[in-house]
Structure 1
Amino acid sequence: MYESVTHAVRVVVTPTFVMEKSEPEDSRWFWSYRVEITNFRPEAITLRSRHWVITDGLGRVQEVRGPGVVGEEPRIASGATFEYTSGCPLGTPSGFMVGSYRMQGEDGAFFEVAIPAFSLDTPDVRRVVN
């Protein structure tokens, strides 16, 4: 579990390696990740867009930007939590992801919320930290 808090919004990410969707003989490894976004602000917020930076075990970087998450732009009431699950394939047996959400408050103002960096490791690969 990986966690960050920015502007009174907590983001918790739990990645899981999915062997059933992986094909190591074809250099394809797959992870799912569950995200929980909790709003500790006094007003509701809306998640408008996402930005991911995905780095594989060889240092190759892919950036992903888009509206909302999993096809929606959720409104998260004060004190509420929004959860979703998504996935990520890599061409190496390890890597990591980090990113941010662009949120909008009820007053119309936008602000960025950090998504914590999290590791994507297959169970049989030794972690290497530089």
Structure 2
Amino acid sequence: MEIAVTKGIKVSVVAEFQPFYSDPERHHFAFSYRIRIENHSESTMKLLKRHWYIWDSIGVSDEVIGDGVVGYQPVIEPGSFHEYVSGCNFKSGIGKMYGFYTMERVLDGKTFLIVIPEFVMMAPYLLN
């Protein structure tokens, strides 16, 4: 698990190889990742946007910017959390992602960036 805390917002990430959806012979490696966003601040927060940097070990990189996460712009009360699962496909068995969320403090509309920690995705058989 990778963890980052920014301005009282804790972001935890766990990634998992998905062999059922992968086809290594055709250079297709599927991964899922679960993200938990915990609000340890004293203010209600709304997740407005995501900004991802994605890197495949064969040298391919991508940048993804969009509203919310998996179709939602969750509002997270103090002491609460939002959790979601998403996925990523690579042409190699090793890749990584990192980025940030744009959050809004609901009380006054102030926005700021929250770090999404870098996490590596690796097909388990590559560890042998």
Range class of TM-score, shorter chain: over 0.9
Counterparts of residues 1-130 of structure 1 (less than 5 Å): 1-106=1-106, 107-126=108-127
Aligned length: 127
Residue type of the alignment partner of 1:117: E
Aligned residues with identical type, % of pairs: 38
After TM superposition, give the deviation of residue 72 of structure 1 in Å: 0.6
| Structure 1 residue 126 displacement after superposition | 3.4
SS at match of 2:59: coil
Q: 1:72 & 1:126 partners in 2: Cα distance?
A: 35
Q: Normalized against structure 1, the TM-score is what?
A: 0.95
Superposition misfits of 4+ residues, deviation over 2 angstroms: none
TM-score, normalised with respect to structure 2: 0.96
Secondary structure at the counterpart of residue 125 of structure 1? helix
Cα RMSD, aligned residues only: 1.0
1:107-128: CA deviation from partner (whole Å, max 9, x where unpaired): 100000000000010001139x
2:83 aligned partner, one-letter code = E
Gaps of 5+ in 2: none
Paired with 1:34 and 1:126, the residues of 2 have a C-alpha distance of: 22
SS of residue matched to 1:124: helix
Residues 46, 75 of structure 2: 8 Å contact kept: yes
Partners in 1 of 2:82 and 2:127 — Cα distance?
33
Uncovered stretches (5+) of structure 1, i.e. residues with no partner: none
